[in-house]
Amino acid sequence: MTQRVLALLPGDGIGPEITEATRHVLTAASTTFGLGLTFRTIDIGFAALEATGSTFPDSAFEMIRACDGIVLGPVSHNAYPPRAEGGLNPSGELRKRLDLFANIRPARTRAGIVPRAGVPLDMVVVRENTEGFYADRNLFSGPGEIMVTEDVAMAFRRITRHASMRIAREAFALAETRGRHVTAVHKANVMRVSDGLFLECCRKVAEDHPDVVYDERLVDAMCAHLVRSPDQYDVIVTTNMFGDILSDLASELAGSLGLAASLNAGEAAAMAQAQHGSAPDLAGHDIANPSSLIGSAAMLLIWMGQRDGDPALLRAAEAIDASLEVALSSPEMRTRDLGGMAGTRDFAAAVADGLSKSDRTVG
C-alpha cells in the first residue's frame, strides 16, 4: 500500500476543532478505501507565534513542503502582529511559495438545504490565486501597498499573461467535465489594460475549446446576475479579488458559506482550505460546522488521485461527498448554524460512519 502523508495545519479559532473533525473523516476514508494516509500536525498561527515568534516559521514550511498534501484550518491573520513582528498570513505564504495558482471554489446546493437564491446552484468559481490586488503575493519583493504620504495610500495590481493563460486553461479544462460553459468576469471597461490582458488570454484559450460556450460579464453586472439567475452559470473564471468576492456570494446563495469547499492547486502541490474564517467566538464549544473543510479535503483527494492515477483516492473523495450529502440531509444531524443540534465531533462521526455505506455504492 502506498503511504501518503498529509500536513494538518490546525490554525486559529475553530481551526483545531474542524481540522480534527476532518482528520477523523480522512482516517475513516483511508481505512475503508486503503489509501495509506498518515498525518503530520504542524503548528501555524498563534500557536506557532507563541512558540517561535512567527505565525509561519520556515521550519513549518519545510515540513509542509515534504508532505503529499495539505489541509489548512482557518487562521485569524487580521489579528496577527505586523509582518516585521512575525505576523505572516500562512494561507497567502503557502499560495505564493508553492505556486498554488488556482483557487477552485464550488458553490453547490446540498440536499435538504434551502438555497437562498430560490433555485438550486451548481457552479464553480475558478479564481486566480497568485497576483491581482493582494499585497502579500503580487510583487517579487515588498508589499503591493504603500503610503505615499500620511494621507495617501496606493495599491498595485499585477496581471500577467502567464497567470491569466494558466487560470483560463484550468477553467476550460474543468468546464469540459461539467456543463461546458465558461464565463469570464472582469472590469475591462475601467481597467482596460490589466483586465484587457486577462480577457485576451481567456479568449485565446476559448479558441482551443470550441465545444465550450464562452461569454463575459462585468463584475458588477455579474453580482446582479448571480442573485437573479444563478442557475445560468457553470464555471466562472476571474482574477483574484473578484473571485474572492464572487465565490462568497455564490456559496451563500447556494445555501451557506459554512458548506463551501475550496482547493488551492498548483502543478506540484495542493491545499484544502475552508472558504470561511476562524470564528474565534465559536472556538472550544463543539458547535462549529466542519462541512467546508471536510468537503475541501475531498477535493484534495481528487487532486491527488488525478496526480497519482489512483482510482482509490477518487472513490474515497466521492464517498466523502456522498456521506456529507446524507448527513446534511438529516435535520437532526446538522450543526447549529444550519438549524440542527449536532456538535462538531458528532457531525464528523456521522460522515465517517457513512463512508462504509457509501463504499457499497461508489464504483
SS3 107: strand
| Burial (CB count within 10 angstroms: exposed 0-12, middle 13-18, buried 19+), residue 13 | buried
Active site residues: 134, 187, 220, 244, 248
SS3 301: helix
Q: Going by DSSP bridges, is the β-strand pair 145-149/69-72 parallel, antiparallel, or unpaired?
A: unpaired
Q: What single DSSP character describes residue 130?
A: S
CA 49/CA 53 separation, integer angstroms: 4
Nearest to 358 by CA among 311, 318, 310, 299: 318
Biggest alpha carbon–alpha carbon distance for the chain: 65
Burial letters 130-159, b for 16+ CB under 10 A, else e: bbbbbebbbeeeeebeeeeeeeeeeeebbb
